[in-house]
Amino acid sequence: MEIKRQAMDLEAYTERARNGPCFVCAFLAGDPGYPHHVVHEDEHHVAFLDRWPTLPGKVLVAPKAHIEHAVRELDEDAYTRLMLFVRVVALAVEEVLGAERTYLYSLGSQDGNSHLHWHIAALPPGVPYEKQQFHVLMTENGVLDVAPDDMAGIAARIRDAIAS
């Protein structure tokens, strides 16, 4: 399966990540410069489609509170709740997208994108081995160009899968 990608403006992305507001907090506050399609939320967490997906239906999950360290800032109960929330969303993503494998990972640093967030990326069947794993996840290798209506449709399908 060939995944069609477009170039990512890494310089602009880095500038925004390092010098802009926290992207999760800005999104949750309704900042029009940080729109996302929500797929699931509860009192403490939110899951939304990645604006620059490297795989179809790539989802980010974050605590609603600005937390930067998964180990230091979350007690055992909060960590467990977060990971159970990630699991619920990941199962729905797998159901909707028919993943061969689902990658779960957390990125960010104090230098940019510091708000704790998990990535849920569903690897479609048929991606050649040499294009899987880190290769398929890196924005340096391009991002998918997904129309807003298609993003809304994917978000709705994931929401429906979670609800059922």
Segments forming the whole domain that contains residue 65: 10-104+112-163
Instruction: Write the CATH number for 73.
Output: 3.30.428.10
Q: Has residue 142 been placed in a domain?
A: yes
Q: Has residue 56 been placed in a domain?
A: yes
Q: Has residue 138 been placed in a domain?
A: yes
pLDDT in tens, 16-54: 999 999 999 999 999 999 999 999 999 999 999 999 999
Examine the pLDDT at 2 and tell me if it is beyond 60.
no
Domain count, the chain: 1
Q: Has residue 1 been placed in a domain?
A: no
Q: Has residue 2 been placed in a domain?
A: no
- pTM of the model as a whole: 0.93
Q: Has residue 122 been placed in a domain?
A: yes
Q: Has residue 79 been placed in a domain?
A: yes
Count of CB atoms within 10 A of residue 119's CB? 20
